[in-house]
Chains A and B, each alone.
Chain A
Amino acid sequence: MTKEKVVLATPAPGTGLPAAMLLCLPMMLITLMMLSRGNFPSEPASMLAFGATYFFVNGLFLMMIRTGNTDRWRAILFVTYAVCFVISFITHLIEARGSMALTESNMIEGLTPFCHVVIPMTLIPAALTKTIIFPGTLLGTKTAIASMFVLWIGSSLALGRGFCSWFCFFGGLDDGFSRLFKTARIRTIHPRWTYLPFAILLLVVLVSALTLAPFYCQWLCPFKTTTEYPEITSLKTALQAMVFMSLFVALVLVLPALTRRRTQCGLFCPMGAFQSLTNAINVFDVRIDPEKCRSCKKCISVCPSFSMSEDTLAKGKSALTCMKCGRCLDACPEGAIFYHLKGTPLNPKRAEVGRRLFLYPAYLFLATMAGAPIQDAIVKIIRLFTTGRLI
């Protein structure tokens, strides 16, 4: 069996440095406002963290504009964001509660941070009972239920399933592991498995509604391993912890590394399946220029979400599950794949306009979401080196 090496294609015609800088200026101004939230830090470690994050974020955007590559630079920030999120979240939990374990007392006090993956499970009970089936608080914190709903609505309106590659704080983990090896060890995955997230979505939505408990969080979420998990007090909670860890190892560490795909996002995550539905109404999509396409199928082999197939190539657009990460755009040797605005004429010559119009909102979401955890993680790492303590 031949192993395919993924080589980045020649980028789209680059933009000169002055023009690229000019195009980055709006991003530099907005991220300055977003990352500082109006208060520039005065403590040295925080100042250093702020400066480093600001230049890192804007440097990557500059490269994105200048080189014409999207995924290459997006992935660096996305993976860094996920790693820093884990560091920041766990240390916060330990500072606040003394442990990553979530006790029943924490739950009845509404101290469980709400995560976007719960959203589909809450919709039927919310419609029928006007209540949210989650042991969190509605308002008042950044991880409160209403806050996460607002972020989800905003990002879904702007990006559709681009949410999974430009917003989600978990996605960077399997994205990172999917880049661990240069070649894929497992190359063929039966297409029927790509429907599994929809099956899981169907089940978790129904079971959660009927049991009035977020079933996915209780039994299936691999990311409990890197955030918080129910305190182990019984055989049941021990089993739950085992399930979380097994799924994490299989879907976030091993399979992405072996397949070079985002297996958790593409083959398991019910939120991903749910977000696919938002792609249907979102303005941005990924199209293939049939005149340029040589059917080399490189896009099929690199697509992390299994959204490119011979069928989609024939149709000239990616599947509904597309995460708009841009990996296929970067990989296409002919530059035949491009971001497109629905309703506008298919003009590959204006592809860069569509790309930039997508990149501004997408990167703003990513930069703003990533900013706080990256700064926090840097501060904590500085603390670790200077005082020997992370917490």
Chain B
Amino acid sequence: MNRLKSMIGYTWAILAVLIAPATFLGHGALSRTLADVTGVTVHPRYSGGEVVSRIDHGPYSTSIHRPVFDALVGKSKEGFVQMTWAPASALPEWIEEPIDYNRDGRVDFTVALNTGSGEVWLVKSHPTVVAPVKSYRLSDGWAVRVRLIRRP
């Protein structure tokens, strides 16, 4: 038994010497494997959630992300929906756009954005819409998050 333990100890120590270069050399492939195997993604609170619809305006387009209410377990009472406009070079100075975030065929709010100053206005047409959270100047466009509450 002692001999076996000793062998395991030495084997692990030698493996440790191999692990060091393998970690760095296989870094890219291992990272991809880890991401694939675990299936993790960045939490939608940070990423904004998946894009569920895209409205083409010719030179620029609007992406509407899914509403984010994700909590640790289940859904939270408050959340947000993110809209992104891109590319930055084609955006007009003033964007005003009706948004149907829950895709029920009716406008839930109209958002207006000054792409020069980043000021944002909101006209609510649905009780779950609370207020704009903030506008964000991205590397190639603008994003606005609108605060929502979940229907009871």
Same complex origin of A and B: yes
Neighbour of B139 across the interface among A109, A133, A134, CB < 8 A = A109
Q: Report chain B residues within 8 Å CB of A108.
A: 46-48, 82, 136, 138, 143, 145
Q: Report chain A residues within 8 Å CB of B14.
A: 357
A208 and chain B: residue at smallest CB distance: B72
State whether A342 touches B9 (Cβ < 8 A): yes
Q: Taking the complex as formed, is B12 at the interface, i.e. its CB lies under 8 A from any CB of chain A?
A: yes
Q: Taking the complex as formed, is A368 at the interface, i.e. its CB lies under 8 A from any CB of chain B?
A: yes
Give complex CA distance A113, B18 in Å.
27
Q: Taking the complex as formed, is B53 at the interface, i.e. its CB lies under 8 A from any CB of chain A?
A: no
Q: Report chain B residues within 8 Å CB of A101.
A: none
Give complex CA distance A358, B136 in Å.
49
State whether A345 touches B42 (Cβ < 8 A): no
A361 touching B19 in the complex, CB below 8 Å, given contacts A131-B40, A343-B5:
yes
Shortest beta-carbon distance from B137 to chain A in Å:
5
10 closest pairs, A vs B, by CB? A154-B23, A343-B9, A343-B5, A364-B20, A146-B31, A131-B43, A158-B16, A341-B9, A135-B46, A283-B12
Q: Taking the complex as formed, is B6 at the interface, i.e. its CB lies under 8 A from any CB of chain A?
A: yes
| Further contacts, 6 of them, CB under 8 A, given A139-B35, A146-B31 | A108-B47, A133-B45, A134-B46, A149-B34, A151-B27, A284-B13
Shortest beta-carbon distance from A383 to chain B in Å:
26
Interface range on chain A: under 10, 10 to 19, 20 to 34, or 35 or more? Answer: 35 or more
Q: Report chain A residues within 8 Å CB of B9.
A: 283, 341-344
A354 and chain B: residue at smallest CB distance: B13
21 A-B residue pairs with Cβ-Cβ distance under 8 Å, sorted by A, are: A105-B143, A107-B46, A110-B47, A130-B39, A131-B41, A146-B34, A149-B31, A149-B34, A150-B27, A154-B22, A158-B19, A159-B16, A284-B16, A341-B10, A341-B12, A342-B9, A344-B5, A345-B2, A358-B13, A360-B16, A368-B24
State whether B13 touches A341 (Cβ < 8 A): yes
Q: Taking the complex as formed, is A245 at the interface, i.e. its CB lies under 8 A from any CB of chain B?
A: no
State whether B16 touches A361 (Cβ < 8 A): yes
Residues in A279-326 with C-beta less than 8 Å from chain B? 283-284
Shortest beta-carbon distance from A67 to chain B in Å:
21
Q: Which residues of B contact A (CB under 8 A)?
A: 2, 5-6, 8-10, 12-14, 16-17, 19-24, 27, 30-32, 34-35, 38-48, 70-73, 82, 134, 136-139, 143, 145
State whether B45 touches A212 (Cβ < 8 A): yes
Give complex CA distance A283, B40 in Å.
30
Give complex CA distance A176, B10 in Å.
33
User: How many contacts A-B (CB < 8 Å)?
Assistant: 148
Q: Taking the complex as formed, is A30 at the interface, i.e. its CB lies under 8 A from any CB of chain B?
A: yes
State whether A157 touches B8 (Cβ < 8 A): no
A157 touching B136 in the complex, CB below 8 Å, given contacts A131-B42, A343-B5:
no
Q: Report chain B residues within 8 Å CB of A213.
A: 45
Q: When each residue 208-224 of chain A gets 1 if its CB lies under 8 Å from chain B and 0 otherwise, what string results?
A: 01101100000000000
